[in-house]
Amino acid sequence: MQKENLHVHLGDLHLRNPTLLAAGIMGLTGASLKRVWDSGAGGVITKSVSKEAREGYSGPRVVETPCGLINSMGLPNPGIESMLEEIKIAKDSGGLVIGSIFGNEVKEFAELAGKIDKVGADAIELNLSCPHAENLSTIGQNPKLTKKVIEACKDSEIPIWVKLPGNTHIPNLIEVAKSAEKAGADAIVLTNTLPAMSIDVTSERPILGNITGGLSGPAIKPIGLRLVYEVYEKVDIPIIGAGGVESGKDMIEYILAGASAVEIGTGIMKRDLDVFKKVCEEASTFLDERKVKDLVGSAHKN
Ligand SMILES: Cc1cc2nc3c(=O)[nH]c(=O)nc-3n(C[C@H](O)[C@H](O)[C@H](O)COP(=O)(O)O)c2cc1C
């Protein structure tokens, strides 16, 4: 049952609750997207998809740390044509589906966005921020390039969300966020994983095949919160928080910082697919008579 006080709007898009499946976790097939939707998520985001299929990096590709995961998947995906079929399956199950895309150049983003739009997805998330995939993280650190990519995708009829990197200093991040807003982005997502590594003392070598990867989970929640808080003060479009959400309290913290919704990825490891339902129940109990939308940005009040 979806609690009334958890309904939110991201622009014109209505969400039955503010929890979204984060890109890259269980988002490769229509069946798994449906499973997450059926388990109670307010929306599901596909694995980031490119024009052509990609194998990703050699293993090991994931390592556990005391407070989260480091992954260097390298954006493996089956390519857009195959993913469009999976999105159709997820849509047919009644889910709210967001297609995450990345390209090698501006016109590739536009091409992918057009295809995601036509297949009936509810929104597009532009991944401008994977910390371990060639030049991708640098797009979201560059205000001009970010603007160009968004403008190129704005022919699409559905909302454009922009996922920015957390590993940029605040004045620059604010510039990028403002530039995204000016270019017509409908929401900003903060944050992707943060650059990190792990070393094996026995072999005296880095553990990940790609040497470095991206840190996710509870370790990055305080950083995600700060980024949302800072950006909320400077832009008027909705913000979606990501990083370390595992409980209703985690979600409420992001809402108070200024997020209108949150993405959950690594939290699935801890609480299984029940995480969406549990986060919602815990948040709803905390809110009691209040509505989640009334708390957005409340931590900024004097
Ligand atoms: C294994 C793994 C794969 C990921 N793949 C993607 C991806 O394809 N595209 C993307 O934008 N983010 C990707 N992410 C980042 C997540 O979407 C999310 O931003 C990040 O993990 C922080 O949220 P969390 O702490 O709830 O996991 C990935 C994260 C993990 C752990």
Q: Is the CB of 244 under 6 A from ligand 1?
A: yes
Domains of the chain, by residue range, sit at 4-56+75-195+217-300
What pLDDT was estimated at residue 178? Answer: 98
Q: How far apart are CA 8 and CA 207, in angstroms?
A: 41
Tokens of 230: 């800072």
Question: What class is the 4-56+75-195+217-300 domain?
Answer: alpha beta
Q: What is the pLDDT of residues 113-142, one digit of tens each?
A: 999 999 999 999 999 987 766 666 689 999
Which uninterrupted H or E stretch holds 126?
strand 123-127
How far does residue 291's CA lie from ligand 1's centre (Å)?
Answer: 28
Per-residue pLDDT at 135: 67
Quote the ligand 1 centre to 52 CA distance (angstroms): 20
Is 216 annotated to bind ligand? no
130 is catalytic: yes
User: Which residue intervals of 63-142 are DSSP H helices?
Assistant: 80-92, 106-118, 136-139
- In the numeric block, the tokens 């905390």 are attached to 286
Instruction: Catalytic residue, from 67, 130, 153, 280: name it.
Output: 130
pLDDT at 232: 98
- DSSP class of 77: B
pLDDT for the residue numbered 1: 55
Cβ atoms 245, 218 nearer than 8 A: no
CA 204 to ligand 1 center in whole angstroms: 28
| Contact assessment for residue 180 and residue 240, using Cβ atoms and an 8 Å cutoff | no
Residue 133: what pLDDT? 66
Q: Consecutive 10-residue runs of the chain (302 residues): their mean pLDDT?
A: 86 97 97 98 98 95 96 96 98 96 94 98 94 74 95 96 93 97 98 97 97 97 98 98 98 98 97 97 95 96 74
Is 167 labeled as ligand-binding? no
